[in-house]
Structure 1
Amino acid sequence: MKKQYYAIIDIGSNTMRLVIYLREKGGRLKEVENVKASARLRTFLDDENKLIQAGIDRLLTTLKSFQGVAETYLLEEMVCVATATIRQAANQKDVVQQVKKETGMKIRTLSDQEEAYYGYLAVVNSTSISTGITVDIGGGSTEVTYFKNRELMEAHSFPFGALTLKEFFSNDIPTEDEIKALQTYLSEQFRSLPWLTAKEIPLIAIGGSARNLVQIDQNLKEYPLAGLHQYKMYDTDIKKISNYLMSLKPEKLSKVEGLSKDRADIIIPAIEVFHSLYQVVQADSFILSRKGLRDGVFYEQLSKEVGSILFPNVLEDSMQELITDFNLDPKQILHVQYLTRQLFDHIKEHGLMHLDKKDWQLLKRASYLCNLGEYIDAESSAQHTFYLLANRTIDGLTHKDRLRLALIASYKNKTTFKQFIKPFKSWFLKDERKKLRHLGALLKFSYCLDATKRQVVKEIRCDDHKSKFTITIKCQGDSTPEEYQTEKQKKHLEKAIKKEIDLDFKM
């Protein structure tokens, strides 16, 4: 099957980007190339709000550079969109015409409402957040939206961005009075929209400044997981970073780990936007979405084919990507899941472990990806399974939920579990750590019942006696390998249910 590549060029006020996507079997788009250029087009607007020729030349040079990269792919389609600076330029028509003449590219200038809408679309199609406020701060504008039950309720674009807000400061490091003046201005602006006030819901941030904020936070905390998408922070974290950056000398600011050099002079005003909005919304958390405007544009394109603007199953689609990427067998997955459910219900019914719906949800998800690491190396499958699931972005799962999934799906024994959870021990209370270990032992036992992936085990029945727990296993065909593997694995399940287990394999 021919690989389908799509490209988008995003002409922002501060940066320009070329992103190449590969369309997956399931229809979703996977980013394969991301090229950034710090063009700072905003700085080329004159007193009459016209983009001067030097700015147009920089735009053309960057676009031609992007074309050179894009030519290495056989593209199905290329889209070129522009935001605030081109939108607000008095000579917008002339700029678009020059670009068309010099490069052959047709620029689609987004309205402020479209820009806000695409940010919302990206968030609801790449996270499991059903109600929230999005904020996307660019160089020349800031877009906010409010969505409820995944439906867009309100959208607004403020005519200020990180570059324009920088004008509140006389130097890169502002004085206390300058910060207070900016905070007052931002609070007044945000409070002018009643639908932003006291919502007490997540604030989801999009864009380069938000990514830099998260990267700084992760570096300061020596965060042990990879990935930025769906990373969670709180107002105290944002304030702490703001204070830290303001305590630095200008020459040290650009050397902060996690901060892009080209954003060093605009990160402080951007952080103030996030913090002020957090306070106005009275948000319960600050969450980063790596998916933004560019992804939103293509989600709209895809919707024309699938018939819906919203993907109904964000997490399920993301799990399916993993199944496809690692060549997992759907037939085996469903069988292991079926056996896991039987064992789960029997153990719950006999009161041997306290289990609830939430536990089954965790087990069910983990059963889709159990032993995924075999794709890399069968001998160290547990290590690879844990690393891949803990460090790969899974749309619809927070970092903590992703870690839970990784710990259960990679379970091998108590020793490796302790090894995997060690850097994250403080993330969970003792009881939850124990529950995750027991769920892992249960799933691993079920997986061993289909050790040869032939589905010879058809059904299991459990009987609870005073000192023993008997599991009768009905088979169709030779079950010798399954008997060996489950006998080897049962001690971990025995510790979880605090009873000796008798296995009775029957034809």
Structure 2
Amino acid sequence: MEQEKYAIIDIGSNTIRLVIYTRDKSGRFTESENVKAVARLRNYLNEDNVLKQEGIDVLIKTLKSFQEVTRHHQLKDIKCVATAAVRQAVNQDSILAAVEKETDFTMRILSEFEEANYGYLAVVNSTPFASGITVDIGGGSTEVTYFHNRQLIFFYSFPFGALSLKQQFVEGNTPTKGELRELRSFLKEQFDQLEWLADKRLPLIGIGGSARNMAQIHQEHIEYPLSGVHQYMMSRDDVEEVSDLLKSVDFSELQRLEGLSKDRADIIIPAVEVFRYLMELIDTKQFALSRKGLRDGVFYEETTKDFDLSVFPNVVEESFHELAIDYDINLTHAFHVANSALLISKELEELGLLSLEELDYKRLKLSSALYNLGSYIDSESSHQHTFYLLGNRTIDGLLHKDRIVIALMASFKNKEVFKRNVNVYEEWFNKEELAKYSLLGAIIKLAYSLNATKRDIVETIELEENEDKLVFSVQCREDWKPEQYQVEKQKKHLEKQLKKTIDFKFYK
């Protein structure tokens, strides 16, 4: 069966990209091809803002090479969008005509609002942030937005980017101390104009290649144990550390620095200066990286236009449904396991044996629904596969730490396996947190046993404390012997953690 495909060409001031999305079995489009060309169109804009013929030739040559790919994949629906370098060109009509005449593509020039809005859409549809400041620094422009309760409030597009900042302030490959002072003074003067930025104390969310490279450099520098940069968090000190690292090496070393694309070596320092000053202005200690950006925003708008729903109601729920389809999760069974885990937890809370916050309940619900996910690969080593799959898959709406918490709870087998899994990430958590996640893992394992036959027979769960013994009364609507057998076998994990004997009474 022929797969449905969709493509976007993003003509930036520094790079031009072709991204092809293919619809997978869950019905969502996933990135299947990503072709990049470093065209640096911004360098061909003269003082009168005319894109010189040499630059137009580079653009056409690049698009023709992309055309070979799109023709090979027999793509018809191709969005071709251009940003600052073409937007700022006074001869944009002749550029549009040349693209139309010499290639298969019709180029659309994005307005400043469209470029900012697409970045905002990408962030709210793929990260957990309800409010924040986004910054998308390209080669020739920088878009900043402020969103609150997942709604765009303010936006602004500055006519400078990493490439134009380098051209304007840095004569060599890397800035001198004097050039850095001038650059910082300029950035302060520009960003201070936006009154809605100051002292917002919200996360700064970076979009685009320079932000991604900064995150990758930091991950390599600290030997980060997880793969993937989407939703990666850095503190202000982390950003300063990367800034100091970049300025401590000569250009040849900079080009070989792990995590940094060689073609960004000469523009990464001006870009990091933008992030540094914005964090100071906003007065935030949190920098988050969104790997989803303009192309994804265009894509979200296009694929949801029939539903009038460009902002997803709940990012994590969208991600869960994708996981459910990818790994054949039985949704009815998952719902009942989650419900049983919530009932048990609330009963333990009433007896003062457990104390949970709203976030804990959200994590418990999701982990319960994903419990034993790894059986999709192999039932015998399901717990091991569950931890690996959840720990190493980017899950939109979950920060990296949250992802590991979900992976630990959803893969709980026993306390020893839990300790082995958490070993690499131990410094991320304190002892109280680990004790809580281990206990919740044992609760989920017990809840899973209560639906061992996937008949969803449990209707109510009540708990009472009798001296040092906990007695669970479980009402079922059908014969419960298979569930009783599994519960008696698995209850020891909860007994060890609560340091109490547990009895189960089943009745109709």
TM class, shorter-chain normalised? over 0.9
Amino-acid identity (%): 53
Deviations 1:461-485 (Å, cap 9, x if unpaired)? 3332112212234445554543333
**Deviation of residue 75 (structure 1)?**
4.0
Report the 3-state secondary structure (helix = DSSP H, G, I; strand = E; otherwise coil) of the residue aligned with 1:196.
Answer: coil
Greater shift, 421-430 or 343-352, is seen at 343-352
Aligned partner of 1:134 in structure 2 is: 134
Determine the C-alpha separation between the residues in 2 that align with 1:3 and 1:410: 34
Report the 3-state secondary structure (helix = DSSP H, G, I; strand = E; otherwise coil) of the residue aligned with 2:256.
Answer: coil
Determine the C-alpha separation between the residues in 1 that align with 2:469 and 2:160: 70
One-letter identity of the residue aligned with 1:443:
I
Aligned partner of 1:10 in structure 2 is: 10
Aligned partner of 1:243 in structure 2 is: 244
Aligned partner of 2:374 in structure 1 is: 373
Aligned partner of 2:174 in structure 1 is: 173
**Deviation of residue 504 (structure 1)?**
3.4
Aligned partner of 1:73 in structure 2 is: 73
Task: Call closer, same or farther: CA 1:307–1:283 in 2, change over 3 Å.
Answer: same
Deviations 1:395-414 (Å, cap 9, x if unpaired)? 11111111111111111111
**Deviation of residue 170 (structure 1)?**
2.1
Aligned partner of 1:218 in structure 2 is: 219
Are residues 1:311 and 2:312 paired? yes
Determine the C-alpha separation between the residues in 1 that align with 2:70 and 2:386: 34
Determine the C-alpha separation between the residues in 2 that align with 1:75 and 1:319: 30
Given that 1:438 and 1:496 are in contact with CA atoms closer than 8 Å, whether structure 2 keeps it comes out as yes
Given that 1:4 and 1:76 are in contact with CA atoms closer than 8 Å, whether structure 2 keeps it comes out as no
Given that 1:353 and 1:497 are in contact with CA atoms closer than 8 Å, whether structure 2 keeps it comes out as no
Task: Call closer, same or farther: CA 1:60–1:448 in 2, change over 3 Å.
Answer: same
Within-5 A mapping of 1:1-80? 3-23=3-23, 28-73=28-73, 75=75, 77-80=77-80
Are residues 1:429 and 2:430 paired? yes
Determine the C-alpha separation between the residues in 2 that align with 1:444 and 1:488: 11
Deviations 1:359-389 (Å, cap 9, x if unpaired)? 2222111112111111111111111111111
Aligned length: 507
Structure 1 gaps of 5+ residues are: none
Report the 3-state secondary structure (helix = DSSP H, G, I; strand = E; otherwise coil) of the residue aligned with 1:36.
Answer: strand
Determine the C-alpha separation between the residues in 2 that align with 1:399 and 1:503: 37
Aligned partner of 1:280 in structure 2 is: 281
What CA RMSD, in Å, does the superposition of the two structures yield over aligned residues?
1.8
Are residues 1:194 and 2:229 paired? no
Report the 3-state secondary structure (helix = DSSP H, G, I; strand = E; otherwise coil) of the residue aligned with 1:305.
Answer: coil
Report the 3-state secondary structure (helix = DSSP H, G, I; strand = E; otherwise coil) of the residue aligned with 2:196.
Answer: helix
Aligned partner of 2:338 in structure 1 is: 337
Deviations 1:29-61 (Å, cap 9, x if unpaired)? 322221111111112223433222322222122
Aligned partner of 1:293 in structure 2 is: 294
Within-5 A mapping of 1:317-332? 317-332=318-333
Determine the C-alpha separation between the residues in 1 that align with 2:156 and 2:103: 33
Are residues 1:411 and 2:412 paired? yes
Report the 3-state secondary structure (helix = DSSP H, G, I; strand = E; otherwise coil) of the residue aligned with 2:172.
Answer: coil
Aligned partner of 2:384 in structure 1 is: 383
Determine the C-alpha separation between the residues in 2 that align with 1:82 and 1:425: 45
Given that 2:14 and 2:41 are in contact with CA atoms closer than 8 Å, whether structure 1 keeps it comes out as yes
User: TM-score when scaled to structure 1?
Assistant: 0.96
User: TM-score when scaled to structure 2?
Assistant: 0.95
Deviations 1:199-219 (Å, cap 9, x if unpaired)? 111111100000000000001
Greater shift, 120-129 or 450-459, is seen at 450-459
Aligned partner of 2:88 in structure 1 is: 88
One-letter identity of the residue aligned with 1:333:
A
Within-5 A mapping of 1:156-167? 156-167=156-167
Aligned partner of 1:149 in structure 2 is: 149
Given that 1:142 and 1:158 are in contact with CA atoms closer than 8 Å, whether structure 2 keeps it comes out as yes
Task: Call closer, same or farther: CA 1:145–1:341 in 2, change over 3 Å.
Answer: same
Determine the C-alpha separation between the residues in 1 that align with 2:343 and 2:246: 55
Determine the C-alpha separation between the residues in 1 that align with 2:97 and 2:119: 27
Determine the C-alpha separation between the residues in 1 that align with 2:279 and 2:404: 27
**Deviation of residue 64 (structure 1)?**
1.9
Deviations 1:258-283 (Å, cap 9, x if unpaired)? 00011111101110111111111112
**Deviation of residue 329 (structure 1)?**
0.4
